[in-house]
Amino acid sequence: MKLWGGRFTKPTNQLVEEYTASISFDQKMWRQDIVGSLAHVAMLGKCGILPMEEVRQIIAGLKKVKDKIERGQAEFLVAHEDVHMNIEKMLIEEIGPVGGKLHTGRSRNDQVALDMHLYLREKLMEIIQLAMYLQEALLEQASQHLDTVMPGYTHLQRAQPVLFGYHLMAYVSMLQRDIERMTETWKRVNVLPLGAGALAGTTFPIDRTFVAEMLQFDGIYQNSMDAVSDRDFIVEFLADASLLMTHLSRLCEELVIWSSQEFSFVELDDAFCTGSSIMPQKKNPDVAELVRGKTGRVYGNLFGLLTVLKGLPLAYNKDMQEDKEGMFDTVATIHGALALLTPMIKTMQVRTERMRQAVTNDFSNATDLADYLVRKNMPFRQAHEVVGRTVLYCIEQQKYLLDLTLEEFQSFSGVIGADVYDALAVETVVNARNVLGGTARNQVEAQIAWYQEKWKETQVWVDKNSQKVMIESLIDVGSPA
């Protein structure tokens, strides 16, 4: 019999049962479901809704169910639909009809909302920490390459010389925004929905504040209809995740390009590459390519949930069962990407001479020639035209700017002097951009120091809040005094 079957005259059609069941995927939240139930039943005892003897029986039964699941001795059945009903059935099998009193004063609507808040709260903290580890790896590489010059690009055309460490710091900046977005999302995740009932609260004199304190939530939903129908916190996480994957994909695209034979700027460790089944010479950057590819599925999960929610009337609707698989998939996808990219960046070998060779065999110092002319009191637009003609001459003569004689330079402008060679040298060009956010060595050092401080501040936040998500430490919250 279904736990809700009293009103029905015939069993559920098997196809309906299989189609509507969520146990195949929501069993991931069994720990969260038990933790939420322990807090709920402790509250029922504290408020005198259930006698303490029954509360103790239920708590003991839930812990037995937990132990059985951990030992692999529990079976989740489609006939019981979801993780909530499966665990309640297991509880009743353990302690008898008193287990049926666990559901007093709550609905599956607020129960599932609680489980997802607990689950995402935990996973969000893990992802924030993993993003910080990747950020740390990039900071380490940037610190080691404060003298490594490479071409900076726009339109994938060489633009101006930059430090390799400076280039990596752009990704540190992106990750900082990702981390900050997720710490903001945490505020919406760490809110208690339990106690909302099906949509209108409950007739029992429950104490939602007590449950919030037990489960270490920072707030409580003020409106019960909103509590059971809100999935904004998941949408917000999926949006954060999509931006994070955008940044990881851009980094991976550059790793693919840089590790190609045409560029040969970096060498990825063999542990993070694969070979070809037919071409023995191949070393493929498959991890970077897969992270780039998996970005699409994270986008899809975001748009999938937005589409589910856009036409739903209040409060709960069965459509909302579609909120979980995309969330689980996104968590797993991001977790894997961050966990792999961090050691891949740490072990990446940078070919500094190849980068320098690239930056000396191009016209990426052309802007500096224009700036040189401006400092000689030439209007920038005129300087731009002069340098353009100079570059065209170099292309025709198969030369670069620093290959020109002073006489050749002066054929384009008489204000050019012998000091032009120092002005166009690679180190001069890089260090001339000595402004906040620039690529000069001391500016990159300042950026690294600034982000290292931000990293420490974020770690303090993580340490402060991480104890709130430790499910194992919360498993005893239901133990009555």
Largest CA distance in the chain: 101
In sequence order, what are the residues at sequence separation of 6 or more whose Cβ sits closer than 8 angstroms to the Cβ of residue 391? Answer: 363, 366, 401
d(CA 43, CA 55): 9
Q: Where are the beta strands (DSSP E) in 197-310?
A: 219-220, 266-267
3-state percent breakdown (helix, strand, coil) of the chain, nearest 5? 65, 5, 30
The residues that bridge with 161 in the sheet, in sequence order, are 151
As a whole number of angstroms, the distance between CA 433 and CA 169 comes to: 16
Catalytic residue selected from 155, 173, 224, 335: 155
CB-CB neighbours of 57 under 10 Å: 20
Instruction: Report residue 339 as tokens.
Output: 């966990």
- Clarify whether 155 is annotated catalytic: yes
**276 included as an active-site residue:** yes
The pair of structure tokens assigned to 24 is: 């195949």
Q: How far apart are CA 98 and CA 101, in angstroms?
A: 5
- Catalytic residue (one of 80, 117, 249, 276): 276
Measured distance CA(130)–CA(335) in Å, rounded = 7
* Distances, alpha carbon 252 to alpha carbons 234, 257, 273, 333, 350, in Å: 26, 9, 13, 15, 15
Catalytic residues: 155, 276
